[in-house]
Structure 1
């Protein structure tokens, strides 16, 4: 595996007319300043660092995309875009050279400037009739021994490669994995009525931190519990909520977030005994949910609103006394970004989750972010990791399937899968103390379906069963809705009968979105790469299949289906309109949007990848609307009625009136919106909701005798 990015000690890189700023990911030629997309930035750095050899397509797939397969067209598009970005009035010559049937090389010499004002010159590839070898050789002046540039420290690089091997297949072979059923005992750790959340066990396994909201109150307290003595220490701030976000690597201090009115967000730290008081570290514009202290005075965390996109996060390394930050990862703009999971000091590795549209990928990297390796892929999220030093393994829990996975870093594969009983309580937050002990919270929410009348704003239960029901659409008097069952999201059909509904399961699998065309009586289901259309008799009558991931789907006012496809490798997106009548699709003249719907005439509403809602005429390109959202969100919930656009965030539903967002209604009783659809027949919003309820903090003793 070749080096992909520069060390944080690099201040700038000069080549031709350009100056590259690795921290800001920008290039500047004295006149024009351009911000590079993460993928293009990675390719550029990769070509410069590995300047003494031809980079093959296989190299790009393995080291830059970090995948097993990338379509040639995706590579061609990325290289074409990079060449366009590198052209300017000041830089007209060749920068990236194509070697026929071999690959690419960086054509210019590059000068690397470090913060200590030392310089390294990376010369261009020397022309040769011989095939390039696989070693890196730099011709440098004033050479500096830094481990992140090329092969300056070959022995260290080789030792790292031997321990941390390349990428696993997307679909790992689990036939040879040891799979077994496991029992456990559950011990209640706290008996006070209220809501327990945000569980973080200390690295030394002696304490657990969590947030607790007492019955009848809206703000949470911070609690640290000693697992040996059972003693609890609490921290509360008037009219503010406190939530733990992680520990220092030696368990001496806890990091926590303080949330107040007007979106106030602050990051603090305190000694583990909470006796000496806390220290404010910095303000956080966007909420931070997980982090870890590193060494003396450093902090790693997931930073949201990356590139001005609410849902996009990046793993960030911060020096606390100066506030200086640099990003360890470069997520693709057509993904949900990277979420920090764990820093393990014994091997000096950072583990994070990359959230693609169709899959979750587990990565590890070093503290410079230069040695990234994808080690596993799954359909479910990696909520928390435990590193087991004795076996050099990772352990995680999938709370949708009650499976505990153990992954061997040395073997580069799953080593075991333990199945906990499925007919037990559902656990939400969890944190491993050891391989066989886990602190968890029981599920703290009721999930039900409500309707809201657009006329009188009345809130009425629609589906209120003791299951995890997350989204619904109305079909006359009947209802179709999603129900979570283990790792599946199944489609349920609620047929209206005397005194209520008769329920039946219509379709299994992992469904992602559900819509209903009331005029044509059609049910529409979206999965990763397909859209299925069912008639009134619930018979499959049509199916749209795409090679790329379908990120969004919508029923347009004329009965056509609008949808968005993310390109292979996560590069770019395209919007299509599909006619169910003619079974033909057409491409819309908009790119890199995440949602769209039709307006009057040729007008089109769409949400851009940088979270702006626009209204344009698709023929004349005249723009009628360009607005931001009233608050930062982790998920955009947008529907369009005949007259307005509605947008939900938490317990507030907004309505767009005369180009401005106004509060349509605020839900009471701890209810929050997680999904939303519109029923034109009933003039109602149909809401998938969460409602707080009391839960418990428990200790699971796994493999214990029942």
Structure 2
């Protein structure tokens, strides 16, 4: 990457009838002086350093934005803004020229004005040469200096003799060792003073005992807490405010459809909220202003949003615009990009450009100094925390993790971020200056689904939902819950005459179901969570993966047979035969191709070069896979031919399993059976909507009396809003 820097002595740059002041980042003409934004200043500097040559868009992305996620609209807007500043005149025509499909060029001669230096270049060179002198010369110089300054002093004479005696010791080395020792002692002392485990006791802030609270958000002043609360009678989510000084709960928004708070105004006296109903394809964003007693004084509609998902929003009130998560990016319903909207004109421009294989950019939040935004890029199995300027420039990825991150919070002086990881029960913080991450384990007296780090306290909500294992009998049309606990059970995998599933923990716990009896298995799983797995009935091997780790478990002998660490993240897997696994691997560039992995030789071979997110093998040895848009293909590896079998692109969420010539799939509210041979589709479970339960995974169990389905069902339960206090 090219670093955009002038020589330190350059104080002005003159071109055409303009003068650029490098110290104040301002542009001066005969008529006016105007201060440049950081982005405009950086682009102009790059033009000045590269005059009279074509600069491609790719070069701008790598050199000016310093990343690879810049949309063309952002580049166009940045160049347009700079052109408006450099208004063309007869004496100074248009300085920035567009070259069709090539890039831009800066047409001007430039003159650099430098300030006078007290030291000549030769003197500076002598200083550099002197600082690089040899050990003997260095010690001789030190001795001469000591001799000059300690003449007539008997005590210092003894010091001089010691220096002569120990010439081989470098003074710089001694100072360095002492400095490092002092630093290490200080760090050890600091580390010992830090509580690496936070033992917290929850104090209830909410007043209802039978409600579901979610989407907690602290006001910029940290004096109010906004949240949604489910009205159990109407089944509609409403918005409440909790005063953090008086703990008073006030309902401020109640609409015919669900309402969710999605952002704050910087004065903490206004909120932005979303009203949404997916069945009627209704989505609007509103602003509500309220009085000192938290009563709403004014409401105003901001925009119409075409989304099935809940948004997030940051308000840039100085520019009278909002930055929000806009779903449907590149015509993918579940893919979100950050978009800035001018509230005066309604004009929008794109701030971020996520990859097609991701779920996009979410959970945007504005820094207290109103200069930066932070957001989370949601990838398959990964979360990436970014910061950027409000116009999307200077995007920087701070942290990448396999942990689930639902939001990040700024500290008071905008110098750091914090977030909570519910799966590992850790509170994480990132210092923007030192770029260090601090992790602290959290021990609470209740299951916590979310935790908000405030300036001086921690707030959160107890768990609103979990995943439980159900058994569904298609003949009797009966749905029976097998496991009910506040811990989540997940990823059912059928084997001969039974099935396995996992329970959350560190590490995850393996359970089995045989003969209508549930047992805890003794197999040690060295992973805190799992992303995908499949059983091979021929060799009794269970393949499990998480991130880049792959494990093979021998279910006969109840032990770990083999483990592998791959270079790329494993998105999905399926047994191809007894020695080979089909792996969907995610590359750094975002591609997700299908590979054949030999578990004996560890040889990897790419066999499908198209993007995929799910894969399976049928009885004929053909490969069935799902692309990013929920289209399904059948690929013959022998002939190298593929055929499109089914399109479910209208659904943003599809889980599926291939079994004996049929594709079984669910969109969350149903369970269907699709014949690959006849294209016939049959509903096995229709309109599944019992107390807001959603099917999140399933597996098929073939028994002597027919088929049964093991369903992983996500359900909502009542919870509390709490203040966490140290024990």
Q: TM-score, normalization: structure 2? A: 0.69
Q: 2:479 aligns with which of 455, 459, 479?
A: 459
> Displacement, 1:112?
5.3
Q: Is the contact between residue 312 and residue 335 of structure 1 (CA under 8 Å) also seen in structure 2?
A: yes
Question: Aligned partners of 2:234 and 2:515: how far apart in 1?
Answer: 40
Question: Aligned partners of 1:631 and 1:624: how far apart in 2?
Answer: 17
Name the structure 2 match of 1:575: 594
Name the structure 1 match of 2:664: 646
1:547 aligned onto 2:567 = yes
Name the structure 2 match of 1:247: 264
Listed as ranges, the gaps of 5+ residues in structure 1 are 5-45, 68-77, 79-110, 125-136, 144-173
Question: Aligned partners of 1:210 and 1:290: how far apart in 2?
Answer: 13
Q: 1:566 aligns with which of 586, 592, 603?
A: 586
> Displacement, 1:467?
2.2
1:384–1:528 Cα change, 3 Å: closer
Q: Is the contact between residue 308 and residue 610 of structure 1 (CA under 8 Å) also seen in structure 2?
A: no
1:597–1:408 Cα change, 3 Å: closer
Question: Aligned partners of 1:300 and 1:60: how far apart in 2?
Answer: 21
Larger mean Cα displacement after TM superposition, 592-601 or 184-193: 592-601
Q: Is the contact between residue 510 and residue 523 of structure 2 (CA under 8 Å) also seen in structure 1?
A: yes
1:217–1:687 Cα change, 3 Å: farther
Q: 1:687 aligns with which of 711, 714, 717?
A: 711
Name the structure 1 match of 2:222: 205
Q: Is the contact between residue 245 and residue 257 of structure 1 (CA under 8 Å) also seen in structure 2?
A: yes
Q: Is the contact between residue 598 and residue 604 of structure 1 (CA under 8 Å) also seen in structure 2?
A: yes
1:441–1:275 Cα change, 3 Å: same
Q: Is the contact between residue 199 and residue 443 of structure 2 (CA under 8 Å) also seen in structure 1?
A: yes
Name the structure 2 match of 1:12: none
Q: 1:265 aligns with which of 267, 271, 283?
A: 283
Q: Within 5 Å, give how 1:80-91 maps onto structure 2.
A: none
Question: Aligned partners of 2:520 and 2:422: how far apart in 1?
Answer: 29
> Displacement, 1:689?
1.8
Name the structure 1 match of 2:331: 308
Name the structure 2 match of 1:449: 469
1:278–1:651 Cα change, 3 Å: farther
Q: Is the contact between residue 46 and residue 64 of structure 2 (CA under 8 Å) also seen in structure 1?
A: no
1:504–1:292 Cα change, 3 Å: same
Question: Aligned partners of 1:51 and 1:674: how far apart in 2?
Answer: 54
Per-residue deviation, residues 153-200 of structure 1 (Å, max 9, x unmatched): xxxxxxxxxxxxxxxxxxxxx998655333444221122121111111
1:429–1:505 Cα change, 3 Å: same
> Displacement, 1:507?
0.9
Q: Is the contact between residue 517 and residue 559 of structure 1 (CA under 8 Å) also seen in structure 2?
A: no
1:484–1:331 Cα change, 3 Å: same
Listed as ranges, the gaps of 5+ residues in structure 2 are 5-44, 70-77, 89-93, 111-186
Question: Aligned partners of 2:541 and 2:466: how far apart in 1?
Answer: 30
Q: Is the contact between residue 3 and residue 370 of structure 1 (CA under 8 Å) also seen in structure 2?
A: no
Name the structure 2 match of 1:355: 378
Name the structure 1 match of 2:394: 371
Question: Aligned partners of 1:446 and 1:301: how far apart in 2?
Answer: 28
Name the structure 2 match of 1:82: none
Name the structure 2 match of 1:522: 541
> Displacement, 1:648?
2.5
> Displacement, 1:346?
0.8
1:483 aligned onto 2:503 = yes
Q: Within 5 Å, give how 1:277-356 maps onto structure 2.
A: 277-286=298-307, 287-295=309-317, 296-356=319-379
> Displacement, 1:425?
1.0
1:365–1:501 Cα change, 3 Å: same
> Would you say how many aligned residue pairs link Structure 1 and Structure 2?
570
> Displacement, 1:51?
6.0
Name the structure 2 match of 1:97: none
Q: 1:407 aligns with which of 396, 405, 430?
A: 430
Q: Is the contact between residue 384 and residue 397 of structure 2 (CA under 8 Å) also seen in structure 1?
A: yes
> Displacement, 1:660?
7.6
Larger Rg: 2
Q: Is the contact between residue 496 and residue 502 of structure 1 (CA under 8 Å) also seen in structure 2?
A: no
SS at match of 2:535: strand
Name the structure 2 match of 1:103: none
Q: 1:226 aligns with which of 237, 243, 248?
A: 243
> Displacement, 1:113?
5.2
Name the structure 2 match of 1:121: 96
Per-residue deviation, residues 639-673 of structure 1 (Å, max 9, x unmatched): 22224323333333344466587654233233212
Q: Is the contact between residue 252 and residue 296 of structure 2 (CA under 8 Å) also seen in structure 1?
A: no
> Displacement, 1:624?
4.3
> Displacement, 1:314?
2.1
Q: TM-score, normalization: structure 1? A: 0.70
> Displacement, 1:341?
3.3
1:357–1:631 Cα change, 3 Å: closer
Q: 1:593 aligns with which of 612, 617, 627?
A: 612
Q: Within 5 Å, give how 1:64-213 maps onto structure 2.
A: 119-121=94-96, 139-141=106-108, 178=194, 180-192=196-208, 193-213=210-230
> Displacement, 1:497?
7.0
Question: Aligned partners of 1:655 and 1:281: how far apart in 2?
Answer: 43
Name the structure 2 match of 1:507: 525
Question: Aligned partners of 1:64 and 1:608: how far apart in 2?
Answer: 31
Name the structure 2 match of 1:22: none
Q: Is the contact between residue 208 and residue 226 of structure 1 (CA under 8 Å) also seen in structure 2?
A: yes
> Displacement, 1:256?
1.2
> Displacement, 1:601?
5.1
Question: Aligned partners of 1:582 and 1:380: how far apart in 2?
Answer: 31
Question: Aligned partners of 2:313 and 2:237: how far apart in 1?
Answer: 19
Structure possessing the higher relative contact order (Cα contacts under 8 Å, 6 or more residues apart):
1
> Displacement, 1:206?
2.0
Per-residue deviation, residues 411-440 of structure 1 (Å, max 9, x unmatched): 2323x5443325x21211333332x32321
Question: Aligned partners of 2:643 and 2:424: how far apart in 1?
Answer: 47
Question: Aligned partners of 2:466 and 2:270: how far apart in 1?
Answer: 34
Q: Is the contact between residue 288 and residue 301 of structure 1 (CA under 8 Å) also seen in structure 2?
A: no
Name the structure 1 match of 2:39: none
> Displacement, 1:525?
0.5
1:380 aligned onto 2:380 = no
Question: Aligned partners of 1:456 and 1:677: how far apart in 2?
Answer: 18
Name the structure 1 match of 2:125: none
1:676 aligned onto 2:693 = no
SS at match of 1:307: helix
Larger mean Cα displacement after TM superposition, 393-402 or 291-300: 393-402
Per-residue deviation, residues 114-156 of structure 1 (Å, max 9, x unmatched): 68597543699xxxxxxxxxxxx9843599xxxxxxxxxxxxx
Q: Is the contact between residue 633 and residue 642 of structure 2 (CA under 8 Å) also seen in structure 1?
A: no
Question: Aligned partners of 1:611 and 1:323: how far apart in 2?
Answer: 33
Question: Aligned partners of 2:47 and 2:491: how far apart in 1?
Answer: 48
Question: Aligned partners of 2:513 and 2:682: how far apart in 1?
Answer: 36
Q: 2:510 aligns with which of 460, 477, 492?
A: 492
Question: Aligned partners of 1:377 and 1:490: how far apart in 2?
Answer: 22
